[in-house]
Chains A and B, each alone.
Chain A
Amino acid sequence: MTDHGVTIGSVAAALLQLVLLAAGAPYLIGMMRQVRARLEGRVGAGIGQPWRDLRKQLRKEPMRPDGTSWVFAGAPRVLLASTVLVAVVAPLLSTVSPLAGAADIFAVVSLLLLGTVALAVAGVDTGTAFGGMGASRAMTVAALAEPTILLAGFALSSRVGSSNLADIVAGTLVMPATVLSPASLLAAVAFAVVVVAETGRLPVDNPATHLELTMIHEAMVLEYAGPDLALVELAAGMRLTVLLGLGASLFLPWGIATSAAPLSLLGAAAVLVAKVAALGAILAAFEVFVAKWRLFRVPELLAGSFLFGLLAVSASFFLA
């Protein structure tokens, strides 16, 4: 295949990945709610419900509270744009990407943080008590979670000598034995805790709560309605999907295409859907068995995952 052909193929791979993530994210949320509902003995609304909600909200008239500024209006767009960018560059389907240079672990982490900060600023912008409270809590959790995700990234990148996500995944594909090394396992635990904290799942935040005093993510977006809310929810769902997909490709990289051939891309897409669905189902099943922690115990959880990240880094340097 010519150089030109590779570029077209990799662009197609990135676009396929974006479409897959954007279309699949609401289904993932719906599937997780359905798993939870079934395990709790309820019938559940079906996995298509988040899509139906989004469609309903997008059709509504845009409404913003009085006194809010462009910050409030811009936040959902910044959140969605940063998430879309991460969804394009992350090596979930194939390790050849037209934007491989941007798929650096530091760039991805800061893009994710950009969305969190935009939402927090919007929460403060509304001037309501709950918005400010949610923003301050979200920033606390983010400030504690970011060092951990960087440490977990360090542990993985020290093995291949590059902080580029595509290189890390390709390196793991070449040496499958490293998946079972202590560094990788500890980093996986640290990463899992961070995913739970960053996407506002139990036990850090309850995604299904209707009690404003206990909310984190929901408190920040309390004032959004209509299309804005749809953007926020779509972005939140895509974030969860991207992070689960990233976890799957960093720690269980089998099935990822190393070329841009159409058949291997389709195979990789099927494997990605299966892996993310399995991880989501596990997360949802785990949520049935835990209660939300007090906010003051959350730093303990994140300190624990920070320690796991640190152990992963030290293990990757000293053990292997």
Chain B
Amino acid sequence: MSEAAYVQSLNLVVGGLLLTAVLMLWWRELRAIVRLLVAQGVLLAGLAGILAIQEGDSQLYGVAAGVLLLKGIALPAVLRRVLRDGREATESEPLVNAASSLLAAAFLILFAYAVSRPLVALAPSPATRALPVGLSMVFLGFFLMISRRRAVSQVVGFLLMDNGIAATAFLAAAGVPLIVELGVSLDLFLIVLVLQVLTARMRLKFGGTDLDDLRQLRDS
């Protein structure tokens, strides 16, 4: 791949990642948000693939395939199952309204650009210049987790944060070794499964997954 094509496709994929992260904050419909997660997983796999072609690293192809399977297919499928079994309203019930969360997102993205400047200055290249996007995904995921009421949207926030960490790793160091990536992915899968079971239990016990209702501890 020529240098110009590499930079262009890298920028496009990174722009797409940022776009899906912002849309997750904007949209309310949880099914649409899960579709965004699928798109984000595919884009992340694409990012790994582009880096693999550029670096000529065969391990990275494996990582790309793994990312596609896990984040593009498996995790969204689990979330979709939770939503289908839920029979609750499928809106995400944010604690802050959409306009303010979008403005907060703008602030967080600028903050990510500001804090990553020293990191970019260490080794300026097209990939590291896109590093702020990974960091803003982490921040946006964190913001999504603290500003949403429903358990499923908090899981989405968690996954967005993890996608951000993965994107940062790809952009900063052309990916982590395959074995580490495998371990992290397995962990992530287990966490989401545990959260799914927890959500199901919550719904069984309380009839809903509004985390604001969990205020006090009780015996029995």
A residues near B (Cβ < 8 Å) are: 177, 180-183, 185-186, 299-300, 303-304, 306-308, 310-311, 314-315, 318-320
Contacts and interface: CB of A to CB of B under 8 A. Distances in A.
A314 B113 contact: yes
Contacts of B105: 307
B15 A307 contact: no
- Interface SS majority for chain B: helix
A318 B113 contact: yes
**6 tightest CB-CB pairs across the interface, nearest first?**
A182-B15, A303-B99, A300-B98, A303-B102, A300-B99, A307-B102
A10 B66 CA distance: 58
Interface residues of B, number: 26
Interface string B1-43: 0001001100110111011001000100000000000000000
Given A311-B109, A319-B14, A181 B8 contact: yes
A180 B110 CA distance: 23
30 contacts: A177-B4, A177-B8, A180-B12, A181-B8, A181-B11, A181-B15, A182-B11, A182-B14, A182-B18, A185-B15, A186-B15, A186-B19, A299-B99, A300-B26, A303-B102, A304-B26, A304-B102, A306-B106, A307-B102, A307-B103, A307-B105, A308-B22, A310-B109, A310-B110, A314-B132, A318-B129, A318-B132, A319-B14, A319-B15, A319-B130
Nearest to B100: A303
A57 B62 CA distance: 69
A308 B19 CA distance: 8
A299 B100 CA distance: 10
A275 B117 CA distance: 41
Given A181-B11, A182-B12, A320-B11, A300 B102 contact: yes
Contacts of B97: 300
A177 B133 CA distance: 21
Contacts of A183: 15
B15 A315 contact: yes
A126 B7 CA distance: 57
B189 to A, nearest CB: 30
A314 B130 CA distance: 11
B11 A314 contact: no
Contacts of B12: 180-182, 185
Contacts of B103: 303, 307
B22 A311 contact: yes
A314 B113 CA distance: 8
A89 B113 CA distance: 37
Contacts of A300: 26, 97-99, 102
Contacts of B113: 314, 318
Interface centre among A185, A300, A310, A319 (most CB of B within 10 A): A319
Nearest to B7: A320
A51 to B, nearest CB: 40
Interface in B134-168: none
A307 B106 contact: yes
Nearest to A298: B99
A164 B104 CA distance: 31
Contacts of B15: 181-183, 185-186, 315, 319
Interface centre among B4, B14, B102 (most CB of A within 10 A): B102
Nearest to B10: A319
Contacts of A320: 7, 11
Interface string B89-113: 0000000011100110110011001
Given A308-B22, A318-B132, 11 more contacts: A182-B11, A182-B12, A300-B98, A307-B103, A310-B106, A311-B19, A314-B110, A318-B129, A318-B130, A319-B129, A320-B7
A155 to B, nearest CB: 12
Contacts of A306: 102, 106
A287 B15 CA distance: 27
Contacts of B22: 307-308, 311
Nearest to A313: B110
A314 B22 CA distance: 14
A314 B112 CA distance: 11
B172 to A, nearest CB: 15
A318 B99 CA distance: 25
Contacts of A307: 22, 102-103, 105-106
